[in-house]
Structure 1
């Protein structure tokens, strides 16, 4: 599965005609996209019944990625967070088979700390058998030993754009699948990606699909609603065959 979507399921007025006209925002969004990243879960807990309602709103093939609570990542900073993690996992279980990866985004100031960081990651993997993506933003998380630990735990390291530190723009850790988070460049959260950049993104996604590699591509440049347009354009690129080459090359 190559999942393309946005952070959140808003349907901006500028793109309203690209979506079904009736239903809730989520239902309309799911009429065009197959996946979404839930970011509100980062700021506050949601009742399991809320997740169940969201799951009931979308088609069977639709999948939700869910961002882990900032209480765990930014306030507790992965320390003594097992009880909070257990509660979070109980809530998101309401999505049932429509639950996709869980996203662990870490604060830029959070260093990889031994034994705290490995202990939390191991506890996370022991408690959740599904896909986990980690988006670290401190350089200490990009050392070979940390990459090896993530791979051993089957945790994919996010490929982020723009990259907050060297190496963050490429995937790491568990390589059986890939999670791209595109935050907008040059102005983070605001800038749209131009046609050439979207061509590159679509070509890579197509190559991954051809190799049977699973992937998530989430546009997070939502501040000025560019994410919706970029995601729609990427979908169109993947669904439209490449034009024939009439350049008259050798052969």
Structure 2
């Protein structure tokens, strides 16, 4: 049985570990306090979360402020960039949209830890467009930037060099995006998104997978890196997250 009544000690294990969203099912409720909102209960055990709903619709500044007030001081949010910017405008002519989004998520204050950019599979790397967009993105946000590209052209030498130059972390996704095999890191910090495999969003990860992941994170000194479980459709994400948290303590 998992026993995770205390949050991961950030000073000893400063990995930002969480799930996509903070829903707590009754099956996974035992390690969490019984009182408070789902986010308050979640934040008492885990130290980070990924907000995916921002990809689909905007949230009021007051909503972000309320979320920030619901969690401890060392808790961090990763917020996904709106699809209007990535999928509709395709990274071009989006200054107004970037500014509006920055104004909204800015109400998380110091608890904004990362901005996540997920690109559509059809979006090819265009050096001029990418350079302009990443420059604007960095001007708007002084936090970690993580980019989950899914077209193979984003994994070439030119794209890798640009991501490094702009200090943007290439997301390590499972199942992997782009070409198969290991992808060259673009910053010292990792952002790992675990979508579930073999059935994306549904499959739970095996004990062996989690043990290997924990060993890798220990070996690479995961300070400041992120690991987010997005296999939420079947409720597996929270169980996998708690299991990995426990392994990080061993």
Paired with 1:168 and 1:5, the residues of 2 have a C-alpha distance of: 25
Cα deviation for residue 170 of structure 1 reads 3.7
Of 59, 64, 76, which residue of structure 1 is paired with 2:72? 59
Residues 144 and 238 from structure 1, CA distance in 2 versus in 1: closer, same or farther, beyond 3 angstroms?
A: same
Contact 1:156 1:171 in 2 (8 A): no
Aligned to 1:248: none
Higher relative CO (Cα under 8 Å, sequence separation at least 6) belongs to 2
**1:82 pairs with 2:92:** no
Cα deviation for residue 133 of structure 1 reads 0.2
Cα deviation for residue 8 of structure 1 reads 0.2
**1:186 pairs with 2:198:** yes
Contact 2:67 2:108 in 1 (8 A): yes
**1:195 pairs with 2:193:** no
Partner-residue secondary structure (3-state), 2:127: coil
Cα deviation for residue 168 of structure 1 reads 7.1
Aligned to 2:19: 6
Paired residues for 1:1-251 under 5 Å = 1-166=14-179, 170=183, 172-173=185-186, 175-209=187-221, 213-240=223-250
RMSD of Structure 2 on Structure 1 (CA): 1.3
Partner-residue secondary structure (3-state), 1:17: coil
Aligned residue pair count:
237
TM-score, normalised on structure 2? 0.92
Contact 1:30 1:58 in 2 (8 A): yes
TM-score, normalised on structure 1? 0.91
Paired with 1:168 and 1:100, the residues of 2 have a C-alpha distance of: 28
* Deviation sequence 1:140-188 (CA, Å, 0-9, x none): 1001111010000000000000012225754532x22110000000010
Paired with 1:219 and 1:99, the residues of 2 have a C-alpha distance of: 18
Paired with 2:166 and 2:149, the residues of 1 have a C-alpha distance of: 16
Q: Which 5+ residue runs of structure 1 have no aligned equivalent?
A: 241-251
Paired with 1:131 and 1:100, the residues of 2 have a C-alpha distance of: 6
Residues 62 and 189 from structure 1, CA distance in 2 versus in 1: closer, same or farther, beyond 3 angstroms?
A: same
Paired with 1:109 and 1:4, the residues of 2 have a C-alpha distance of: 30
Cα deviation for residue 116 of structure 1 reads 1.6
Aligned to 1:249: none
* Deviation sequence 1:178-227 (CA, Å, 0-9, x none): 10000000010000000000001111122233xx6421000000010100
Partner-residue secondary structure (3-state), 2:110: helix
Q: Which 5+ residue runs of structure 2 have no aligned equivalent?
A: 1-13
Cα deviation for residue 108 of structure 1 reads 0.5
